[in-house]
Amino acid sequence: MIHVSPRALRRVLLAGTAGLASLAASPALADDLREALVSTYQTNPTLQGARAQQRAVDENVPIARADSLPSVDGNAQYVEYLKQSSNSFTAPSRAIGAGVDLGVPIYAGGAVKNSIRAAKTRVEAGQADLRGTEASVFTQAVAAYMDVIRDQAIVGLSANNVDVLQVNLRATSDRFEIGDVTRTDVAQSGSRLALARGDLRSAQANLIASRERYIQVVGKAPVDLQPPPPLPGLPASPEDAVAIALENNPDLIAAKERSKAAGYDIDIAGAGRMPRVEVFTGGNYTNYLGTLGGATTAPFAQSQSTAQAGVRATIPIFQGGRPAAQERQAQARAAATYETEIAVERDVIAQVRSAYSSWKAANEIIAMNQTAVDAASLSLEGVQAENSVGNRTILNILDAEQELLRAKVQLVTARRNAYVAGFSLLAAMGKAEAQDLGLDGGILYDPDVNYRRVRGKIWDWAKDKDPVAQSTRTVDTPAQDASIPPQ
């Protein structure tokens, strides 16, 4: 089984210069794929929102643990006795009082213990979900990055095709003037030029859309994107890919953890029929403010205090079938999570095999399209040479030029598809997250840090600061155009 080495992937992404064959040759390069992923990691709202959701899940552990800790309640009151019994001659007119009660849970049938276990397990499931969100957002960023490069290359090819056809139309018109070609040849050249201009406009619109999508995911405008580095650690076979995914895919890990948590929920529900034992103590103080005894001269103590302590046992005898129903309900929900786990496993296997097939096919298509480009280039040269001696028509030249353009567009598209499919395969294998991609340098978000921070908190006033948005807004980003860097 092939394992993807995070260190190897980190070295490649940090290098950033050795790479796949260029999809858009440009000598002035400003942004690379690693910079795009770092920006995505720090500013993407989907990712920031998932982190906040995980912090909320972390709090379920101290919430569950609170049921196992002592509870202290205090009370205070001031009373004015507005009307007394006509037979009461010593009743007070007013009083103040205060009391404190302390309860310590001793036994709850295992409900608290299993609640804590379930909460901890769901924290682990949530952390796996966060990994999955991270990989998904990175896949979107890579796709957006490659879409810009692809569409930029297609705009360049389309613009060059328009230039070629303009030259061809002028040459054909000149030859028509001297009677070397017919009006049909001029019309065919003009028609191809009009179509090429339409294709160029479509390509420009696609480039603008890709750049706007890049801004949406990455958080900033693309600037002279350089070719991406190669993706290391790709598996040799679909079997290897599936084996790695079954061990590392975050969605599958989360499903397994939720199945474990559902097992604890059954025990929690069953504890509803068990006795509960609590140790309690309390004290009260009352002061009648000199009004106890009324007008009599008998001495009365104007204040009193009491204290008590004991053990309280609550033994359920009959609850109308509620505990059994809750336990059956928890069992059914657990059964659902077991089936969900299998469904996720099926989905992961299908996703990995599909991504592997797409990646392999795209790489084969690259080779085929490269052959097609080479052959189409040679064909165009031959047709042009034969046309110069009268063996080929202008239409033959136009067809050859169109075939070459189509082959080049398919080549850059295949390169984009191969890279995105390869990255999608790594994501499905659980090997396309921040640590795997070398996005280090003090920026990595570790969800376990917050969990360790809050899991033992017991102070009722230990709140955090009011939240503020962490993601960057793109409202100030200028609308994109279809200009391409100078070649």
Superfamily of the domain at 6-73+111-278+323-454? Outer membrane efflux proteins (OEP) (1.20.1600.10)
Residues of the chain with pLDDT under 50: 1-29, 297, 441
**Residue found under tokens 């070629």:** 164
> What confidence score (pLDDT) does residue 435 get?
79
- DSSP code at position 20: S
Whole-number Å distance between alpha carbons of 43 and 440: 16
The pLDDT, as a whole number, for residue 5 is: 40
268 close to 114: Cβ distance less than 8 angstroms: yes
Instruction: Match 């992404």 to its residue by tokens.
Output: 13
Packing angle of the helix pair 322-388, 250-270 (nearest 10 deg) = 170
pLDDT at residue 16, rounded to an integer: 35
pLDDT of 300 reads 80
pTM equals 0.85
pLDDT value at residue 443: 66
Residue 48 burial (10 A CB sphere; 0-12, 13-18, 19+): middle
Say what the pLDDT of residue 189 is.
Answer: 83
pLDDT digits (tens, 9 = 90+) for 99-158: 999 999 999 999 999 999 999 999 999 999 999 999 999 999 999 999 999 999 999 999
* DSSP-based three-state secondary structure for 105: strand
Please write the tens of the pLDDT for every residue from 31-53: 889 889 999 999 999 999 999 99
Decide: 193 and 162 in contact? Cβ < 8 Å.
Answer: yes
Q: What is the pLDDT of residues 213-272, one digit of tens each?
A: 999 999 999 988 999 988 888 999 999 999 999 999 999 999 999 999 999 999 999 999
Please tell me the distance from the alpha carbon of residue 128 to that of residue 348, in angstroms, as a whole number.
14
Return the domain boundaries, the chain: 6-73+111-278+323-454
How much is the pLDDT for 438? Answer: 73
